[in-house]
């Protein structure tokens, strides 16, 4: 699949917030490796394996997303059984975050990428191949003021792997 890219649009944490997320991931009990610190993010829209031209379209249009600083309180753990993924996310709905995720999905559609059909569940993946966490949330919630949206290529030629930022847009 050399003519495809595996891409997604995400909120990208600043280094201070990334360190806090990584600390929480490593403090969780049970099996499963922590997500590498450099990969911590909050997915807004997963495009998946797309043609290079579609990924280029997303990169060129990413700046159309209107991002103001979004305060995100990461105060609850969750777990997706099928992939064995433990995550942290907000316990309360955040309207501006929900709107941004909708806009990111619309951006994908505008580049000819069909939405994946999954409901938006704002979360930051912390551990893979994990068991559900034994506590409802971290001892100290993470206060994140999200100011950057990125288009990430995750892997090479459509296969999962190392992350590479293809485009970014900062809060206005």
**% the chain with pLDDT above 90:** 75
4-170 is classed CATH 3.20.20.60:
no
- State residue 158's pLDDT score: 60
Are 32 and 131 contacting, i.e. CB atoms less than 8 angstroms apart? yes
Domain boundaries, the chain: 4-170
Cα(61)–Cα(107) distance, rounded to whole angstroms? 7
Count of CA atoms in the C-beta half-sphere (13 A) of 39: 16
Cα(34)–Cα(88) distance, rounded to whole angstroms? 12
How much is the average pLDDT of 153-161? 75
How much is the average pLDDT of 89-100? 96
Cα(164)–Cα(172) distance, rounded to whole angstroms? 23
Q: Is the dihedral of CA 72, 73, 74, 80 positive or negative?
A: negative
- State residue 131's pLDDT score: 86
Pairing of strands 85-89, 124-127: antiparallel
Burial 65-81 (b: 16+ CB within 10 A, else e): bebeebebebbbbbbee
- 28: three-class secondary structure by DSSP: coil
Residue recorded with tokens 């296969």: 159
Give the tens place of pLDDT for each residue, 102-125.
999 999 999 999 978 889 999 999
How much is the average pLDDT of 63-83? 92
Tokens describing residue 141: 């919630």
pTM: 0.93
Q: What is the DSSP letter of 111?
A: T
Of 165, 66, 76, the residue nearest 121 (C-alpha) = 76
- Position 1 pLDDT exceeds 90: no
How much is the average pLDDT of 147-159? 85
């Amino acid at each position: 699949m050399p003519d495809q890219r595996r891409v997604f649009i995400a909120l990208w944490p600043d280094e201070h917030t990334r360190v806090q997320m990584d600390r929480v991931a490593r403090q969780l009990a049970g099996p499963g490796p922590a997500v590498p610190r450099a990969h911590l993010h909050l997915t807004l829209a997963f495009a998946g394996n797309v043609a290079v031209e579609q990924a280029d379209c997303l990169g060129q249009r990413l700046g159309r997303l209107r991002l103001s600083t979004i305060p995100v309180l990461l105060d609850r753990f969750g777990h997706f059984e099928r992939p064995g993924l433990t995550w942290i996310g907000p316990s309360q709905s955040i309207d501006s975050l929900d709107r941004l995720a909708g806009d990111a999905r619309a951006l994908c559609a505008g580049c000819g990428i069909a939405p994946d059909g999954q409901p938006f569940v704002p979360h930051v993946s912390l551990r893979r191949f994990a068991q559900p966490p034994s506590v409802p949330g971290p001892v100290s919630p993470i206060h994140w003021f999200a100011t950057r949206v990125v288009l990430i290529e995750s892997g090479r030629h459509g296969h999962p792997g190392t992350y590479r930022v293809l485009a970014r847009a900062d809060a206005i």
